[in-house]
């Protein structure tokens, strides 16, 4: 018997549907001919808690740290024992096993750790599926690979899980116990990704709180030219008081010039006109979709992820959503060119976007060289019943289709004009843009474009018809929201000061992964470290105190982003997992030495921030309400062991 082990039930059903033969459902599996398909439902196994290695670790004590398991142990999750028993029984009757985890690092770990835990020693094939439509699944079934090829990917995922355990368990215990000495009664959770993300928000909140607005002044003038009128802005010279962005800090020079300008004769001294062509925005990765959906619809990152999962699993309308890629295989071009016009027949919005599309066009998104384990999100080609989709499902589906449809539209062509006027010995600048070919642009905006500049000729006379000074103030940075925080996690190099590290991180995948970024934000909200204020994400008082009490490197993104790079090298068989863990233990011991009750006391006493609301039903209790001994804290910690150590992150 051939046994296929899928990552989740929906994938197992899609595989069974694509197999030839009569289906028969048996407990925890589906039989089709001589093949049986069974499934996991997320991780069936989890890292064992500290007291599984030594009962004395039930009590949280600083002198136990660092806790370093040897050998490492996995244990069944409480609700997974029944399905593990099903898989164990099926393995005993199998001659061949097929690993059908999702095509990523965690998907490789999720199924393979079950196969190894149940001591299967026979051959294992690898089935990679990113599209649940029957033809795509059938095609994937015809090109199975040797799972040994993916062993480095598994080792990288296993190393990540162990490293997260070491980091989360040890630092959470250390800071919780130090917090208790300082008078904070509750768990203070520290993680290698969640804490730097919290650090981003805390530092942004501090910038906003410490911000002092400064007045600045701008002067505009309207110039009459042969073919119309142009508004231009004064460019004050260095003899005037300017800030580092060239803004005028004193009003008097602008006011004095404004009085002299009306009626003054000048000329158009400089004119630069350039035609530009802009390719369509690429299809979405998950994070890029989360950013756009948050901006357009105010959806949280988790809501977007959950909606994508429903469109992928329940409705089978889009391809695998947890992708970090924004390109499509060249082989998808023909099927999409055939399917997209049909999709336009069932939805007015899609129909409007299909107008003007040229389905023979092959946009830059179709590039095999830039597709890895995943490709960009795309419609599967299945005809949707829009009436059965919720409003968020319909909105997200349209966005996914739109960005793929854009690849079949012409480039946006514009004429960008920059003009400089000279009058009374001063320079005034104006700029404008004219759309020559709208191309893909109407798919992305319904706003009217501002009128272009009138026809201009270099050297032509220009007379000032009006002028005025506008008084403005510098503004603090905006607080983070779901869109900007996800974008910050994607482009984490922007928040790094060290130029060498910044250069290293420029091409990295950022902080967290496509699959985990939404969960990281939700975890920080559930633990009371972040608070949602309308659409903004602000740090709570506890969040501020935790960041202030930790060594600065533990709150910044450099370490975790470099972790991801090194894990990627392990996945490519270019680095050693043991060397990585040894280096981590050295860092961990230094961080543990920095745990200090006095620093914690000061941090708690001076913390600013927003009071976290009561937890949602079924959520974590506020730290102030949790009472008990070290042993009780240990029980609480064990119940959350996978979350504090990063879970699938």
Distance CA 297, CA 295 (A): 6
Q: Which residues, including other chains, have CB under 8 Å from residue 305's CB and lie 6 or more apart?
A: 286, 290, 321, 322, 518, 519
Distance CA 378, CA 285 (A): 10
Distance CA 367, CA 386 (A): 31
Return the half-sphere exposure (C-beta side, CA atoms, 13 A cut-off) of residue 611. 3
Give the active site residue among 57, 154, 299, 320.
Answer: 320
The answer to whether residues 315 and 307 touch, using CB atoms and an 8 Å cutoff, is no
State the pairing for strand pair 23-26/461-473: unpaired
- DSSP state letter for 238: T
Distance of CA 69 to the CA centre of its chain: 32
* Residue whose tokens read 């060119």: 337
Distance CA 447, CA 438 (A): 13
Alpha helix (H) ranges present in 148-193?
Answer: 151-181
Distance CA 445, CA 402 (A): 12
Distance of CA 549 to the CA centre of its chain: 27
* Residue whose tokens read 């503004």: 475
Distance CA 358, CA 315 (A): 28
Q: Which residues, including other chains, have CB under 8 Å from residue 314's CB and lie 6 or more apart?
A: 10
Distance CA 239, CA 241 (A): 7
In this structure, the number of other CB atoms found within 10 A of the CB of residue 569 comes to 15
The answer to whether residues 24 and 124 touch, using CB atoms and an 8 Å cutoff, is no
3-class DSSP assignment, residue 470: strand
Tokens of 555: 């709150």
Distance CA 55, CA 277 (A): 67
The answer to whether residues 493 and 508 touch, using CB atoms and an 8 Å cutoff, is yes
Beta bridge partners of 434: 415
The answer to whether 320 is a known catalytic residue is yes
Angle CA 131–132–138, to nearest 5: 90
Q: Is 455 exposed, middle or buried (0-12, 13-18, 19+ CB in 10 A)?
A: exposed
Distance CA 466, CA 456 (A): 19
- DSSP state letter for 437: E
Alpha helix (H) ranges present in 270-370?
Answer: 286-297, 301-313, 332-343, 348-354
* Residue whose tokens read 């028969």: 24
Tokens of 249: 């800090």
Q: Which residues, including other chains, have CB under 8 Å from residue 375's CB and lie 6 or more apart?
A: 130, 319, 323, 325, 327, 328, 329, 332
The answer to whether residues 227 and 456 touch, using CB atoms and an 8 Å cutoff, is yes
Tokens of 350: 């899609």
Distance CA 41, CA 514 (A): 19
In this structure, the number of other CB atoms found within 10 A of the CB of residue 559 comes to 18
Catalytic residues: 320
């Amino acid at each position: 018997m051939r046994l296929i082990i899928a990552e989740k039930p929906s994938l197992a059903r899609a595989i069974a549907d694509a197999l030839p033969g009569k289906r028969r459902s048996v407990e925890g599996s589906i039989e089709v001919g001589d093949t049986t398909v069974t499934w996991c439902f997320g991780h069936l196994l989890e890292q064992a808690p500290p007291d599984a290695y030594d009962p004395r670790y039930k009590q949280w004590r600083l002198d136990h740290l660092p806790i370093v398991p040897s050998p490492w142990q996995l244990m069944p999750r409480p609700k997974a024992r029944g399905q593990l028993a099903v898989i164990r029984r099926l393995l005993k009757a199998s001659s061949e096993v097929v690993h059908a985890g999702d095509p990523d690092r965690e998907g490789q770990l999720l199924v393979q750790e079950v196969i190894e835990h149940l001591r299967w020693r026979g051959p294992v094939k690898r089935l990679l599926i990113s599209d649940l439509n029957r033809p795509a699944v059938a095609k994937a079934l015809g090109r199975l690979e040797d799972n040994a090829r993916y062993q480095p990917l598994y080792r990288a995922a296993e190393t990540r899980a162990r490293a997260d355990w070491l980091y989360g368990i040890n630092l959470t215990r250390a800071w919780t116990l130090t917090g208790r000495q300082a008078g904070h009664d509750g768990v203070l959770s520290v993680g290698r990704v969640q804490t730097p993300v919290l650090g981003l928000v805390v530092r942004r909140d501090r910038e906003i709180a410490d911000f002092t607005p400064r007045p600045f002044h701008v002067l505009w003038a309207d110039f009459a030219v042969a073919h119309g009128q142009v508004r231009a802005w004064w460019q004050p010279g260095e003899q005037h008081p300017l800030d580092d962005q060239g803004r005028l800090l004193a009003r008097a020079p602008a006011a004095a010039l404004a009085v002299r300008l009306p009626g003054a004769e000048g000329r158009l001294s400089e004119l630069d006109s350039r035609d530009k062509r802009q390719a369509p925005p690429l299809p979405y990765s998950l994070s890029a979709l989360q950013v756009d959906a948050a901006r357009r619809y105010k959806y949280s990152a988790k809501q977007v992820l959950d909606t994508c999962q429903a469109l992928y699993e329940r409705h089978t309308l889009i391809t695998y959503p947890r992708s970090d890629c924004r390109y499509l295989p060249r082989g998808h071009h023909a099927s999409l060119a055939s399917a997209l016009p049909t999709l336009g027949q069932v939805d007015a919005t899609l129909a409007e976007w299909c107008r003007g599309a040229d389905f023979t066009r092959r946009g830059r998104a179709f590039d095999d060289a830039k597709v890895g384990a995943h490709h960009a999100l795309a419609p599967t080609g299945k005809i949707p019943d829009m009436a059965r989709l919720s409003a968020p499902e319909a909105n997200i589906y349209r966005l996914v289709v739109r960005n793929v449809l854009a690849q079949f539209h012409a480039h946006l062509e514009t004429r960008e004009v920059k003009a400089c006027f000279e009058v009374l010995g001063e320079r005034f600048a104006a700029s404008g843009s004219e759309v020559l070919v709208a191309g893909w642009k109407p798919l992305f905006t319904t706003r009217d474009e501002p009128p272009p500049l009138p026809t201009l000729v270099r050297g032509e006379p220009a007379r000032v018809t009006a002028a005025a000074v506008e008084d403005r103030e510098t503004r603090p940075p905006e607080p983070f929201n779901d869109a900007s925080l996800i974008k910050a996690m994607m482009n984490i190099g922007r928040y790094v000061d060290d130029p060498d590290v910044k250069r290293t991180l420029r091409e990295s995948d950022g902080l967290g992964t496509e699959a985990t970024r939404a969960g990281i934000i939700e975890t920080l909200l559930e633990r009371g470290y972040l608070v949602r204020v309308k659409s903004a994400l602000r740090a709570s008082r506890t969040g501020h105190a935790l960041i202030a009490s930790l060594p600065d490197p533990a709150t910044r993104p450099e370490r975790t982003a470099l972790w991801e790079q090194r894990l990627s090298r392990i996945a490519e068989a270019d680095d050693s997992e043991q060397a990585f863990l040894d280096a981590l233990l050295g860092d961990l011991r230094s961080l543990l030495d920095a745990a200090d009750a006095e620093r914690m006391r000061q941090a708690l006493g001076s913390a600013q921030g927003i009071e976290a609301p009561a937890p949602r039903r079924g959520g974590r209790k506020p730290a102030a309400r949790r009472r008990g001994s070290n042993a009780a804290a240990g029980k609480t910690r064990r119940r959350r062991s996978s979350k504090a150590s990063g879970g699938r992150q």
